[in-house]
Each structure stands twice: as C-alpha cells, then as structure tokens.
Amino acid sequence: MDLVSGMAGLVMGLVLGVFGSGGSIITTPALIYLAHLPPKSAIATSLGVIAITAAVATFQQARRKNVDFRMTAGFSLFSVSGAYLGTRFGAELTVVTQLVIFACAMYAAAWKMLRPMPVHRSVGAAAIQGEPVVVSQSLIRTGLIGVAVGVLAGLVGIGGGFLIVPSLVLFAGLPIRQAIGTSLAIVTLNSTSGFFGYAGHVPIDYPLVAVFALLAIVGSLGGMHLAQRLSAEHLKRTFGVFLVCAATAILLKNLL
C-alpha cells in the first residue's frame, strides 16, 4: 500500500467516526483507483474494512452511551438479511449500475436531512435538536426500512450508514449523536453480512483489508473526537452536504 492509499484509509476512518457512515465513499474508489483492485474485489474488500473499523468505533460510542442496542437489534434483524440478499443481486450488476444506484440513494437521504423539519410535522425534529423523543414504531415499518437499507448495502458494497442515520433520526426519533452511534453498530453487522456474502465468489485481498482497516481505525478515533465538538444541528446539516458532494462526485466519475 502506498502513501496515498494509506491517507485514504485515514480519511475514510475520519469520515466514519464523524458521521457514522460514508466510509465506503472513500474506501471503494481508493481500492479501485489507488490499490488497483478489480471493482468487484474492491467492493468486497471495502465491506471487510468497514466491518472492522465500524466495530471498533461502535465500542467507543457505546462507552459514551451513544448506542441504542435495542434499536440496533430490531433494525439489524431485517437489514442483515437484506444485505446478504443484496450481495446476490450485486454480483450480477455492472459496477456503473451499482454506483449510480448508490448515488441516487444518497441524494434522497441528503434531501431528507437538509429540508426544514417543522416540530409539529416530524417525529425527528425534536431528535435533531437533541431532545429525547418517545416513539412508537411498528415492527412492519422497522422491518421495511431495515430490509431496504440492507439490500442497498449489499447491492452496492456499502455499510448503509448514510441511509441508516437519517432513518434513525427522521423515523425512529433518535437524537443525532445516538443515531450516529447506533448506525455504527448496524453498519458493523450489515458490512459483515455483506462481506461473507461476497467471500468465496470474488477474490479478496485479506492483508490489504487488515492494513487499510488499521489506518481507518486511527482515523475514526479522531473523527469521533471531532464530532463531539459539533452541535447537533450543525452535524445534521454537514452530514446532508457531505452526502450531496459525495453523490455528485460518484456520478461525475462514472457517467462522464
């Protein structure tokens, strides 16, 4: 691994630590264009890196009481199954198709996070302000969101955090910081499921997974420290802008 690839690993961890998602935005392109892995192998390797990095970040967030384990269990019950199913479809799609789907989903999530959220119309509005919210969420809604996020995660080789964080804030009513911590726990499970879905079907560079993950873990610790210094509203809006920029970069890279 060269210096540029190593820096990409650090930045990937930083982004994951701050937002609870977004690691695959950096990891997959870095593995394709810097480490020169075949696209399918890069997607699978990315899932392995994210699984390890998110697991360490989850432990740190849990120490700060930012992980809702009950929500993690309920959401993951459906999303992990969806992630494994998504890998089966993803193995048959072209890389361009996978990344275009990825970018479109990111735009949808960014719109949700950036639009005004009146208190009287959104259960997530109080959560965005960091206020506790008591929400009665049906098993059916949890299942549908979890399966959809999981399928997309497996389909395009991501942890799914960029959809999980908005879902937890807007539909489950979690405060943004707790949504980020809980997202990391779910991302860990989704990525692990997706990784094993690809294992045995595409070549995976396991030593590269270990080195990249080690650098990403260092970056994630710095990212979590930075996130503690940002206000909840600023963190939410920054997350939305980040999604727009990343989605645009993906589309420009693959369609032009």
What are the residue boundaries of the structural domains of the chain, listed by start? Answer: 3-255
The predicted pLDDT at position 120 comes to: 37
Pairwise CA distance, residues 231 & 89, whole Å: 39
Q: What is the pLDDT of residues 205-253, one digit of tens each?
A: 888 888 888 888 888 888 777 767 766 667 667 777 877 887 888 788 7
Compute the average pLDDT of residues 16-33.
72
| 8 Å CB contact between 149 and 164 | yes
- The conformation of residue 202, written as its DSSP 8-state character, comes to B
Compute the average pLDDT of residues 12-17.
73
Q: Is 80 exceeded by the pLDDT of residue 182?
A: yes
- In terms of Cβ atoms closer than 10 Å to its own Cβ (0-12, 13-18, 19+), residue 200 is exposed
Confidence of residue 62 (pLDDT cuts 50, 70, 90): very high
Q: What is the pLDDT of residues 72-128, one digit of tens each?
A: 888 888 887 887 788 777 767 777 887 788 788 778 777 776 776 444 334 444 444
| 8 Å CB contact between 87 and 197 | yes
Pairwise CA distance, residues 90 & 94, whole Å: 8
- Largest interatomic CA distance in the chain: 52
Pairwise CA distance, residues 40 & 202, whole Å: 7
